[in-house]
């Protein structure tokens, strides 16, 4: 493992998005080569030729699964084991793959039956490889696709402080319909459309203003497919940070390319912020798995035409990286890791946040959305309100694999992250500073931003030092 520690690191890697663009291919390949050169060779547990290919053929990207014999299921299990060993970042402190004893028990179970239906094999693999990881999933494609998450029941945690529920007779924001009718565009700032009736639905970025005059910025995704809209976030932050109060609505934002989130956070403040610790898997399998994810999105046609060049460029960089790693002379070590701890990112604004900002979240906020919270929770004047987030941040940069005989698919993260303040728990998520239980969380957040924080709300500030934690 190659560890890196920097007092002020500018480069930030994408996370959580299947198709988040990589850094420039040449510099990434150079880092990969350095990591592999520094990492000790690790012999694979079963196979003497570790650099097998996990690239999904184009014709199989969304092909349906099939029932397989016990012998075929055993071979698919070995491919699954290899994918986890070589590509899965895993949670800190946990092995990326099961113990040899657990593998042996699964092999015994597979031998005990003549045939295995795909859903049964997916269930066995989920039980074998499962971890408290919000991104880890098993399933298959085809006409009746299946996706089974590997996460066990969410852990419980202490209840956060509550904000009094608004009365519909006492407050103008008693319902989402009334709030929507009251919205007007904020002068001097772009406006996309009327606000949606449900969180997570509508334009990727939308700035409006309610009857009370508090600006409301809805950020519904950080997906690279919405890059044109997301590119406006730093300019919006530069305007909003001067307002006496504003609300950022992140409900339903399932994540995407973290760099869009980070640029927005850094445009709100001039303070140095502790970056998330990162641990990134560098291997042929990890690069091929990420490329599989991008290729499937392109093949399904769910990438807007304007965003296709960005995805195609990202795919080419991944495939070049996989080829460069595979071609290393005498390479017997299939996996290495790059680790960054204690890094600092410095705010880009002309000064501190001038007003009060309330970030509204719910269980729909995940991955890069939660990574944004890891930064904004360090900014003086920012508060997180609403419900717990999803808890799917610790392992991101998802790779896709398809077991060739059964067609069962594996989705697993190739980068691990850790919250710099230590307040995040996978599956539980971030707990809000103030819980909002009313029918109109955005309206309640606007009232909270106008009148100031409750006495019980935390008073956080940016840390002057981000030494190794």
Q: How far apart, in whole angstroms, are the C-alpha atoms of residue 413 and residue 366?
A: 14
Reported confidence tier of residue 51, pLDDT bands at 50, 70, 90: confident
Q: How far apart, in whole angstroms, are the C-alpha atoms of residue 148 and residue 155?
A: 19
Reported confidence tier of residue 154, pLDDT bands at 50, 70, 90: very low
Q: Is a pLDDT exceeding 80 seen at residue 67?
A: yes
CA angle 277/359/132 to nearest 5° reads: 45
Q: Is a pLDDT exceeding 90 seen at residue 29?
A: no
Is residue 318 within 8 Å of residue 236, measured between CB atoms?
A: no
Reported confidence tier of residue 44, pLDDT bands at 50, 70, 90: very low
Q: Is a pLDDT exceeding 70 seen at residue 17?
A: no
Q: How far apart, in whole angstroms, are the C-alpha atoms of residue 166 and residue 174?
A: 7
| pTM for the predicted model, two decimal places | 0.81
Q: Tens digits of per-residue pLDDT, 294-334? A: 999 999 999 999 999 999 999 999 999 999 998 887 655 67
Reported confidence tier of residue 200, pLDDT bands at 50, 70, 90: low
């Amino acid at each position: 493992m190659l560890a890196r520690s920097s007092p002020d690191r500018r480069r930030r890697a994408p996370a959580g998005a299947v198709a988040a663009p990589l850094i420039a291919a040449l510099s990434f390949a150079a880092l990969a080569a350095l990591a592999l050169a520094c990492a000790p060779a690790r012999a694979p547990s079963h196979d003497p030729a570790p650099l097998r290919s996990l690239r999904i053929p184009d014709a199989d990207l969304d092909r349906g699964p099939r029932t397989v014999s016990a012998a075929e299921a055993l071979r698919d299990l070995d491919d699954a084991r290899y994918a986890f060993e070589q590509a899965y970042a895993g949670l800190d402190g946990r092995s990326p793959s099961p113990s040899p004893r657990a593998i042996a028990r699964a092999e015994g179970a597979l031998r005990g039956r003549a045939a295995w239906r795909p859903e049964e094999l997916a269930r066995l693999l989920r039980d074998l490889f499962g971890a408290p990881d919000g991104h880890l999933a098993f399933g298959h494609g085809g006409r009746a696709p299946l996706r089974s998450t590997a996460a066990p029941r969410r852990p419980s945690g202490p209840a956060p402080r509550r904000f009094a529920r608004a009365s519909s007779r006492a407050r103008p924001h008693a319902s989402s319909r009334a709030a929507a009718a009251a919205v007007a565009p904020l002068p001097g700032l772009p406006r996309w459309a009327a606000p949606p009736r449900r969180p997570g639905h509508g334009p990727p970025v939308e700035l409006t203003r309610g009857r009370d005059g508090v600006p409301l910025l809805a950020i519904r995704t950080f997906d690279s497919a919405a890059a044109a809209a997301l590119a406006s976030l730093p300019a919006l932050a530069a305007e909003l940070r001067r307002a006496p109060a504003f609300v950022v609505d992140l409900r339903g934002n399932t994540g995407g390319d973290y760099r869009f989130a980070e640029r927005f956070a850094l445009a709100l403040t001039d303070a140095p912020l502790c970056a998330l610790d990162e641990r990134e898997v560098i291997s042929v399998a990890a690069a091929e798995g990420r490329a599989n994810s991008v290729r499937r999105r392109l093949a399904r046609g769910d990438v807007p035409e304007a965003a296709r060049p960005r995805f195609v460029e990202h795919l080419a960089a991944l495939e070049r990286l996989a080829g460069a790693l595979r071609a290393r002379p005498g390479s017997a070590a299939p996996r290495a890791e790059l680790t960054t701890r204690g890094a600092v990112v410095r705010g880009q604004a002309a000064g501190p946040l001038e007003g009060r900002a309330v970030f509204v979240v719910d269980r729909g906020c995940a991955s890069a959305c939660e990574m944004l919270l890891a930064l904004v929770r360090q900014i003086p004047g920012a508060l997180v309100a609403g419900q717990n987030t999803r808890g799917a941040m610790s392992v991101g940069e998802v790779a896709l694999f398809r077991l060739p005989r059964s067609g069962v698919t594996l989705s697993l993260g190739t980068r691990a992250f850790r919250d710099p303040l230590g307040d995040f728990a996978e599956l539980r998520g971030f707990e809000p500073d103030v819980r909002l239980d009313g029918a109109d969380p955005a309206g309640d957040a606007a009232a909270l931003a106008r009148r100031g924080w409750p006495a019980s709300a935390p008073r956080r500030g940016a840390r002057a030092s981000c030494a190794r934690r």
